[in-house]
């Protein structure tokens, strides 16, 4: 079991914007190494005796299972903490919660609504904090996406990625992740649902170092034209269920189906963070077809999050 570098030890993972291209490459390289070790059955208990607290204010399948299994495979212990289990649910401040948990744990992963809550938790915690998802960002998902793309395509820089759909947390972190790794990204969203301008500006800033092209358009065909990677997400995220019917009408032209992907490269790959709604944002023929790598993508949540934990905790 080779020694891991201490470059990221003690760091928080709140946004990919806070990491350099070389630091992101280190995470992806470590994820690939851990994946190989797991497949070969080689022990890799880099976090033996360490404990991760996992705070969930939103329901989860992939995030909970991958972090809990991941910390176990690294030799540590994962402690599941729902919002109702903590005094947060009865009004204890985030700052006080951070101070207390820092005395018990070696790291915190939180999946919640407001990005400001994650940032406040990190500000007052003496241990690393990992953003498992907020309404603004989803960095762990995009690290898994980048790992998957690199596995299939053999590289990242110079590829074209098309994201079609809501300018949500996945779109935001894709903009930042692509900018940091030299992937040209075009986001196609309807008016009123585009990515937040400050995120686009941050991605453009990050892209100056890598040469990535950052574009936001309204035409899904324009986005998908000659794309190496096509990505979509649900039309209504958690907390937006009341908008489902209204959004369905707005986003109908943004469905990723057999007609739309005719404009992509012949060897394009399709990604979706899941859960997916077949025949809403994507046709069954695409997500279940030969170009789909969504199951590898889901698996890579485990490997990339293990890399993050092993490097920062």
Is residue 11 one of the residues assigned to a domain? Answer: no
Residues 108 and 144 in one domain: no
Does 17 qualify as catalytic in the annotation?
no
Question: Domain with 51 in it: what CATH number?
Answer: 3.40.50.1370
Sign of CA dihedral 169, 265, 255, 298: negative
Of the listed 111, 172, 247, 255, which one is catalytic?
111
Q: From the CB of residue 93, how many other CB atoms can be counted at a distance below 10 Å?
A: 12
Q: What is the mean pLDDT of residues 267-296?
A: 97
Residues 147 and 259 in one domain: yes
Of the listed 73, 301, 303, 305, which one is catalytic?
301
For residue 236, give its domain range. 139-297
Residues 293 and 246 in one domain: yes
Does 141 qualify as catalytic in the annotation?
yes
Of the listed 141, 145, 178, 206, which one is catalytic?
141
Residues 156 and 261 in one domain: yes
Is residue 6 one of the residues assigned to a domain? Answer: no
Q: What is the mean pLDDT of residues 39-44?
A: 96
Residues 156 and 267 in one domain: yes
Q: What is the mean pLDDT of residues 250-279?
A: 97
Residue 22 pLDDT grade (very low, low, confident, very high; cuts 50, 70, 90): very high
Is residue 111 one of the residues assigned to a domain? Answer: yes
Instruction: For the chain, give the percent of residues with pLDDT over 70.
Output: 98
Does 172 qualify as catalytic in the annotation?
no
Residue 301 pLDDT grade (very low, low, confident, very high; cuts 50, 70, 90): very high
pLDDT in tens, 60-111: 889 999 999 999 999 999 999 987 777 776 678 899 999 999 999 999 999 9
Residues 83 and 210 in one domain: no
Residues 101 and 170 in one domain: no
User: At 108, phi and psi to the nearest 5?
Assistant: -130, 135
Does 111 qualify as catalytic in the annotation?
yes
User: Which pLDDT belongs to residue 92?
Assistant: 85
User: Which pLDDT belongs to residue 90?
Assistant: 66
Is residue 77 one of the residues assigned to a domain? Answer: yes
Residues 26 and 123 in one domain: yes
| pLDDT over 70 at 160, yes or no | yes
Is residue 10 one of the residues assigned to a domain? Answer: no
Q: Which two tokens stand for residue 201?
A: 């500006």
pLDDT in tens, 108-148: 999 999 999 999 999 999 999 999 999 999 999 999 999 99
Residues 189 and 286 in one domain: yes
- How confident is the prediction for the chain on average, in pLDDT? 95
pLDDT in tens, 178-234: 999 999 999 999 999 999 999 999 999 999 999 999 999 999 999 999 999 999 999
Does 233 qualify as catalytic in the annotation?
yes
Residues 204 and 63 in one domain: no
Is residue 2 one of the residues assigned to a domain? Answer: no
| pLDDT over 90 at 245, yes or no | no
Among 106-110, 171-175, 215-219, 243-247, whose mean pLDDT is lowest?
243-247
Our count of domains for the chain comes to 2
Of the listed 150, 233, 255, 305, which one is catalytic?
233
Is residue 121 one of the residues assigned to a domain? Answer: yes
- Give this prediction's pTM: 0.96
Residues 163 and 284 in one domain: yes
Is residue 24 one of the residues assigned to a domain? Answer: yes
User: Which pLDDT belongs to residue 82?
Assistant: 85
Does 301 qualify as catalytic in the annotation?
yes
Of the listed 145, 273, 303, 305, which one is catalytic?
273
Residues 122 and 216 in one domain: no
Residue 168 pLDDT grade (very low, low, confident, very high; cuts 50, 70, 90): very high
């Amino acid at each position: 079991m080779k020694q891991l570098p201490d470059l990221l030890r003690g760091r928080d993972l709140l946004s990919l914007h806070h990491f350099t291209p070389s630091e992101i490459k280190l995470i992806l390289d470590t994820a690939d190494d851990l994946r190989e070790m797991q497949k070969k059955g080689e022990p890799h208990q880099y976090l033996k005796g360490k404990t991760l607290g996992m705070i969930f204010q939103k329901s989860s399948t992939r995030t909970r299972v991958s972090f809990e299994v991941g910390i176990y495979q690294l030799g540590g212990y994962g402690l599941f903490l729902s919002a109702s289990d903590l005094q947060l649910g009865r009004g204890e401040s985030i700052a006080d919660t951070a101070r207390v948990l820092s005395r018990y744990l070696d790291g915190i992963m939180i999946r919640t609504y407001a990005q400001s809550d994650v940032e406040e938790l990190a500000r007052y915690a003496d241990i690393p904090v990992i953003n498992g998802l907020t309404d603004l960002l989803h960095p762990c998902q995009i690290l898994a996406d980048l790992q998957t793309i690199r596995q299939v395509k053999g590289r990242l820089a110079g590829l074209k990625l098309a994201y079609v759909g809501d300018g949500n947390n996945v779109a935001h972190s894709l903009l930042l992740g692509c900018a940091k790794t030299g992937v040209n990204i075009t986001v196609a969203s309807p008016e009123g649902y585009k990515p937040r301008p400050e995120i686009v500006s941050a991605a453009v800033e990050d892209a100056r170092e890598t040469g990535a092209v950052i574009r936001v358009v309204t035409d899904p065909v324009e986005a998908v034209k000659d794309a190496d990677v096509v990505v979509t997400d649900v039309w209504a995220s958690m907390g937006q269920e009341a908008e489902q019917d209204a959004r369905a009408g707005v986003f109908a032209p943004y469905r990723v189906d057999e007609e739309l992907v005719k404009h992509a490269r012949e060897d394009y790959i399709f990604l979706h963070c899941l859960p997916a709604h077949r025949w809403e944002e994507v046709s069954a023929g695409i997500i279940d077809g030969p170009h789909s790598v969504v199951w590898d993508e889901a698996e890579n949540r485990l490997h990339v999050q293990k890399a993050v934990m092993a490097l920062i905790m």
